[in-house]
Amino acid sequence: MLKFRLGLFLTVFCTAVIAFVLQYQILKLQDELVKFENLKKIEENIINEDVEDVDDVVVIYNRVPKTGSTSFVGVAYDLCKKNNFHVIHVNITANNHRLSLPNQYKLVNNITKWSDMKPALYHGHFAYLDFTKFSKHKPMYINIIRKPLDRLVSYYYFLRYGDDFRPHLVRRKHGDTMTFDECVSKSQPDCDPNNMWLQIPFFCGHTANCLKPGNKWALQEAKKNLINNYLLVGVTEDIESFINILELTIPRLFIGAMDYFNHSNKSNLRKTAHKEAPTEETVKKIQNSVVWQMENELYEFALEQFNFVKKLSLGEKSQRFFFEKIRPKSS
């Protein structure tokens, strides 16, 4: 009799435990189901918002001359039809890098309201323009920066020998065979270190002080804009990573860009026809100038930031985020 009661007790107890566990699992599954449904609703809302947002996206590439910009823009032009977006060149009279105040307003207004062209990538050789100054929606800025002396040397020989992009176009210094080293030794204007004062003004903007070579405020303003107002600033020697990060960040425009860049001739679309590396003596002389030191400071600043973004974006460990602990629960 005792064994029977003990067996009955154990049976009832085990049944109760099993029932409790099952009930707990059912409640847990119900909670997970509610969480899943909530997440699904959130994702649907995000997707719906993204559909509107991505088709309204505007990217501005105020490209610095002789930094590899033609190669990058070539990729964008070849992808725009497939990815269904527009690429638009902003051509300013006489290659002026600055716009008058009325034209600043008109450009901002046109880009903001030209809905038929969205999504779009605008590109051109012009200094940073603050859209919020005109109470307009801020676009996403991108750019590429280059070592200042490398950029100056490349531009020096480009004006004399042209490039393989448009080999038959005669440049304004055509026929001048003076090397960069000879130019520096003779202190000629074409190789004046002040000619390197270009990348800082491009990031600084349309303020008068931006144009003054060696202006410390301009350097700080350029750094501030680079961090606060640019989505991404790459470097010439690593355009591949620049494109890779853009594809991951703005796939609406750049999906497939990395594969296309690697399997096309766009990786080095514009190469100066003839160029001679400067001697160590010439390099030291240029590096003694205040302008080189400041331009190089901006370059190193941009490089450090780019490598930081690159490590987070293209690192070995894939990073994800998700939503959880959403309250209140849906009824």
The domains of the chain, with CATH numbers, are: 55-314 (3.40.50.300)
What pLDDT score does 174 carry? Answer: 59
What global pTM score does this model have?
Answer: 0.80
Number of Cβ within 10 Å of residue 87's Cβ equals 20
Confirm whether 168 is a catalytic residue: no
Q: What gap in Å lies between CA 212 and CA 15, rounded to an integer?
A: 86
Sequence letter at residue 261: F
Which pLDDT belongs to residue 213?
97
**Contact indicator for 59, 49 with CB cutoff of 8 Å:** no
Report the chain (331 residues): mean pLDDT per 10 consecutive residues: 60 68 68 53 48 79 93 95 96 93 96 95 97 91 97 89 60 72 93 96 98 98 98 97 96 95 69 80 96 98 97 83 86 63
Rg of the chain (C-alpha set): 29
Calpha distance 298→61 (Å, rounded): 18
> Beta-strand (E) ranges in 193-274?
230-235
Q: Note the residue count of the chain.
A: 331
What pLDDT, on the 0 to 100 scale, is given for residue 58? 96
Query: What are the φ/ψ torsions at residue 61 (nearest 5 degrees)?
Result: -115, 90
- Whole-angstrom distance, CA of residue 274 vs CA of residue 160: 9
> Which entry of 86, 89, 97, 123 is annotated as an active-site residue?
123
Tokens representing residue 162 in the block: 């042209």
Q: Which of 89, 97, 125, 137 is catalytic?
A: 125
